[in-house]
Amino acid sequence: MVTMRDVAKRVGVSVATVSRVLNDSGYVKEDTRKTVLAAIEEMNFKPNSVARSLFKKQSKTIGLIVPDINNPFFPQLARAVEDVTSEADFTVFLCNSDGKIEKEIRYFDRLQQKYVDGVLVVSNTLKPEHLSQYHFPIIALDRPLDSSLPYVTCNNYEGAQKATRHLLECGCGKIAHISGPENIANARDRLQGYKDVVSEVGLYDENLIIPAEYQIESAKRAAFKLLTNYPDIDGIFAGNDVMAIGVIKAAELLGYKVPEQLKVVGFDGIEFGDIITPELTTVSQPVYQMGSTAAAMLLDLIEGKPIHQKEITFQVELLVKRSTQT
């Protein structure tokens, strides 16, 4: 393997000069710089990225911390982040936190040890005091954090209103909501959007709201309970798409026909929504755009460029499919 020492020997300069050329730091005569670069190319020298990051305290890497990559929302987000950052020659470390603060902090520590240049994090628990010790730019993605961190999210409250109004327009008279985890702000916003719309038309009933996890099985159990206790429910707004899939599964087990007897709406717009039967009506977030926008912002911060908008909230769109057909 060709080393920096070999390149220096070939050109007749010191190792320090080669290092200065590689790291674009310190003074090197223009002729020497060109000769060193030509030798690097000719000898096919690949600088050791670990050594470079130790020297420059920079690594051309970023961290992406998500709760659970098994949820199809997050691969779509991760794909966007990777597309944008790899264009800029960055590599992404993917970390699954399971939504646990201890894991999030452990990953932040590890990422700092690896000299990452920045981190995108999807979290609902981190506070400013947890993050003040990290000296790289951080952006909150999907879930704004209780701090001055820049963030990219979507309008969860309005999305939930759109979903609930749509169920009303479809003629549903008993609309339930299986809400996402109470400790996640976007789940609370979606719940509030639902509550405000059913209250406006005098259909609010707290018994028709059950919290569950952002997971199929947990939502399936919640839907089973709801539909067993209130068999005349004719519309369910689920906290997200995987939960809506759980609702459709529970309805199927209980012998309901979706959409004839029960209409279901999800939230997110994951691709799986089009694969299941019936295809899922959903409030679609511009997931790819959210991921790519956050990644571009992070790259700007890494390069020390100012960002003009620190808080970005994307609009959402109701996509009507078979699960609410009239």
Residues that bind ligand RIB (CB under 6 A): 71, 73, 142-143, 186, 214, 240, 242, 267-268
70 Cβ neighbours under 8 A, 6+ residues apart: none
The distance of closest approach from Cβ of residue 73 to ligand RIB in the complex, given in angstroms and rounded to an integer, is: 4
CA–CA separation, 303 and 305 (whole Å)? 6
CA–CA separation, 117 and 265 (whole Å)? 39
Helix (H) / strand (E) element for 278: namely none
Nearer to ligand RIB among residue 237 and residue 267 (C-beta): 267
60 in Cβ contact with 48 (< 8 Å): no
Nearer to ligand RIB among residue 118 and residue 266 (C-beta): 266
The distance of closest approach from Cβ of residue 88 to ligand RIB in the complex, given in angstroms and rounded to an integer, is: 26
Nearer to ligand RIB among residue 209 and residue 244 (C-beta): 244
The distance of closest approach from Cβ of residue 240 to ligand RIB in the complex, given in angstroms and rounded to an integer, is: 4
DSSP letter for 256, please: P
Nearer to ligand RIB among residue 134 and residue 272 (C-beta): 272
On the CB side of 278, how many CA atoms lie within 13 Å of its CA?
21
What is the helix, strand, coil percentage profile of the chain, to 5?
Answer: 45, 15, 35
The distance of closest approach from Cβ of residue 217 to ligand RIB in the complex, given in angstroms and rounded to an integer, is: 14
The distance of closest approach from Cβ of residue 71 to ligand RIB in the complex, given in angstroms and rounded to an integer, is: 5
The distance of closest approach from Cβ of residue 280 to ligand RIB in the complex, given in angstroms and rounded to an integer, is: 13
Nearer to ligand RIB among residue 20 and residue 291 (C-beta): 291
Nearer to ligand RIB among residue 233 and residue 242 (C-beta): 242
The distance of closest approach from Cβ of residue 162 to ligand RIB in the complex, given in angstroms and rounded to an integer, is: 15
Lookup: tokens for 278? 């019936």
The distance of closest approach from Cβ of residue 120 to ligand RIB in the complex, given in angstroms and rounded to an integer, is: 13
Q: How wide is the angle at C-alpha 108 spanned by C-alphas 78 and 103, nearest 5°?
A: 85
The three-state secondary structure class of 179 is: strand
CA–CA separation, 227 and 233 (whole Å)? 7
CA–CA separation, 53 and 74 (whole Å)? 28
Nearer to ligand RIB among residue 61 and residue 71 (C-beta): 71
Region label for 271, one of left (φ > 0), alpha (ψ between -120 and 50) or beta (otherwise):
alpha
Decide the pairing of beta strands 317-319 and 281-284.
antiparallel
Q: Choose among 280, 283, 321: nearest CA to 160.
A: 283
154 in Cβ contact with 143 (< 8 Å): no
Nearer to ligand RIB among residue 243 and residue 302 (C-beta): 243
The distance of closest approach from Cβ of residue 186 to ligand RIB in the complex, given in angstroms and rounded to an integer, is: 5
Nearer to ligand RIB among residue 85 and residue 186 (C-beta): 186
136 in Cβ contact with 143 (< 8 Å): no
